[in-house]
Amino acid sequence: MDISSIFDISAAGMNLERQRLEVSALNLANANTTRGADGLPFTPLQVVVRSGMSPFDAVLNALNGGASLSGAGPIGEVQASDVPPRQVYEPGHPDADANGFVSYPGVNSVSEMVRLIAVTRAYEANVRVFNAGRAMAMKALDIGSGR
Amino acid sequence: MSQIDPLAGGATSQLVSVALDAAMARHAAIASNIANADTPNYRPLMARFDQLVDELQGRVTDRTQDAALMRDAERMQESLQNQPLVADPTSRQVELDMQMADLAKNTLQYQALLTAQGKLMSISELAISEGKM
Amino acid sequence: MIDPVTAIGAQLPAIESAPATQPPYTDFAAWLAQQVDDVNTKISQADTQVRQLAVGESTNIHQVMISLEKARMSLELVVQVRNKVLEAYQNMMQMQV
C-alpha cells in the first residue's frame, strides 16, 4: 500500500466532514425560513455517508494483498431530509395557512450544534492521521543516512 | 553481465528528472491556488501530466523498452516547460484543505525522489572510488 | 504479568537451531562470483523501485529506501573484500623468497 492512498483516505475523510459542516451551516442559517424561492418552507438537508469501496471483503482483500486502498474513503451524498415541518400557531404571519399555522423547517438546532462539535473533532482526527502518515514517510527517507 | 546504467544519462535518471519537474509544476499550481483562494471567479489550476502513471505506467520494469521510455520522458519534460499549468477540470472552487493535503503529498514525493536518486548515485560513486574514499 | 526476559529466552533455542539455507562455500572464487551476481540483482531491483516511485506506481517509500541501502551494503562488502584480497596478494608479491 503506497503512501498516497493513505493520504487519499484522510483527504476523503476531511472532505466528508467539510460537507457535513456545510450542510449543518445551511440548516442552521435557514432554521426559520418559512418561504423559499419555490414558495415552500426550506427543506432541511442531511449527508448520507457510504463507504467508497464495498463490499467489506474487497477492503479486507486489498489490505491483505497489499493492493492500493485509494477510493476506500467515505463518500457523502447530500439528500433532503424528510423531517416534517414544525407547525406554529401564528395567525398574523404572512405565510400562515388557513388555520393560522406557519410551517417552519424541521431543523433541530440543538442536534445541529452537537453535530458541529462532532464534525470538528472528526476533522481534527483526520488531520492528525494525515500528519502522522507524513511524519512516518519522512522518517522512512532517513533510512541509511547518518553514515 | 550488467544491464543497468546507474550513471546519469540512463532511463532511471531521466524518469526521476521528469518526475521532479512534474512535482515542481504541481507545486506552482498549488501555490497559485492557495494564494488565490479568495479571488472571485478564480479557476483552480493543476499541472499538466498530473499523473505520470497513465503515460508511463507498466513500462518501467521491462528494460528492453528503455529507449522508447526515455524518448517519451523527454517529450513530457519539454511540454512541461512550455505550458506547465492548465485549468483543473474537476474542481470549480479552491478547497483550501485539499490543497494543503496535495501540498504535503507533493513535497513528500519530491523529497523521496531526491533522496532515492542521491542514494543510487552514491552507489555508483562507491564503485568508481573502489571504496577508498 | 509476563516476565519479558523469560519470554524472549524461551524463543532463543528456536532461532539458533534454524537451518542454514546454503551449504558453506569451500571455493572462495565461487563465493565471490555469487556475491557479485547478488550485488547486481540488488542494484537492479533498487533501480526498478526508484523508477516505480518516479512514475507514481504503487510502491512503499520505506521499501525503496531499504532496497537502496541493501544494494549499497552488498556492493560495499564486495568492494572491501576485493580490496583486502588485492592487498594480501600485493603483500605476498613483495615477500623476499
Tens of pLDDT, residue by residue over B15-41, are 899 899 999 999 999 999 999 988 888
- Which of chain A's residues have a Cβ under 8 Å away from the Cβ of B104? 7, 130, 134
Confidence band for A67, pLDDT divided at 50, 70 and 90: low
Residue B8 has pLDDT above 80, yes or no: no
Residue B52: what pLDDT?
Answer: 62
Task: Tell me if the bond preceding A55 is cis, omega within 30° of 0.
Answer: yes
Residue A29: what pLDDT?
Answer: 93
pLDDT averaged over every residue in chain A? 86
Structure letter (DSSP) for residue B57: T
Q: What does the alpha-carbon distance between residue B84 and residue A87 come to, in Å, rounded to a whole number?
A: 58
Using CB atoms, pick whichever of B61, B119, B127 lies closest to residue C48.
B61
Confidence band for B2, pLDDT divided at 50, 70 and 90: very low
C66 has a chain B CB within 8 A of its CB = no
- Which of chain C's residues have a Cβ under 8 Å away from the Cβ of A5? 58
Confidence band for A70, pLDDT divided at 50, 70 and 90: low
Confidence band for B3, pLDDT divided at 50, 70 and 90: very low
Looking at the domain assignment, is residue B18 inside a domain? yes
CA-based nearest distance B6→chain A, Å: 19
Q: What does the alpha-carbon distance between residue A26 and residue A108 come to, in Å, rounded to a whole number?
A: 12
- Which of chain A's residues have a Cβ under 8 Å away from the Cβ of C69? 143-144
A144:C62 CB<8 A: no
Residue B91: what pLDDT?
Answer: 83
- H-helix or E-strand containing A89? strand A86-89
Residue C66: what pLDDT?
Answer: 94
> According to DSSP H, which parts of chain B are helical?
11-35, 52-56, 66-82, 96-129
CA-based nearest distance A4→chain C, Å: 9
Are the C-beta atoms of residues B15 and C55 closer than 8 Å to each other? yes
pLDDT averaged over every residue in chain C? 82
Confidence band for B133, pLDDT divided at 50, 70 and 90: low
Looking at the domain assignment, is residue B54 inside a domain? yes
Are the C-beta atoms of residues A144 and B119 closer than 8 Å to each other? yes
Our CA angle for C85, C42, A143, nearest 5°, is 100
B116:C53 CB<8 A: yes
C92 has a chain B CB within 8 A of its CB = no
Chains near C, with 3+ CB pairs < 8 A?
A, B
C56:B19 CB<8 A: yes
- Which of chain B's residues have a Cβ under 8 Å away from the Cβ of C33? none
pLDDT (tens digit per residue) in A117-128: 999 999 999 999
Q: What is the mean pLDDT of residues B36-64?
A: 80
- Beta-carbon contacts of residue A113 (< 8 Å; ≥ 6 apart): A28
Residue C26: what pLDDT?
Answer: 76
- Which of chain C's residues have a Cβ under 8 Å away from the Cβ of A67? 58
Are the C-beta atoms of residues A10 and B104 closer than 8 Å to each other? no
- Beta-carbon contacts of residue A141 (< 8 Å; ≥ 6 apart): B111, B112, B115, C61, C65
C58:A68 CB<8 A: yes
Looking at the domain assignment, is residue B112 inside a domain? yes
Residue A113 has pLDDT above 90, yes or no: yes
Using CB atoms, pick whichever of B95, B104, B115 lies closest to residue A141.
B115
Looking at the domain assignment, is residue B5 inside a domain? no
Confidence band for C14, pLDDT divided at 50, 70 and 90: low
pLDDT (tens digit per residue) in C37-87: 999 899 999 999 999 998 888 788 899 999 999 999 999 999 999 999 999
| Full domain range(s) for residue B51 | 11-123
Q: What is the mean pLDDT of residues B35-59?
A: 81
Are the C-beta atoms of residues C64 and A143 closer than 8 Å to each other? no
Residue type for C54, please?
Answer: A
| pLDDT, greater one: B87 or C5 | B87
Residue C25 has pLDDT above 80, yes or no: no
C75:B12 CB<8 A: no
| pLDDT, greater one: A19 or A39 | A19
Rg (CA), chain A: 22
| pLDDT, greater one: A112 or C16 | A112
Residue A7 has pLDDT above 70, yes or no: yes
Looking at the domain assignment, is residue B128 inside a domain? no
Backbone angles phi, psi at B23, to 5 degrees: -65, -40
Residue B73: what pLDDT?
Answer: 84
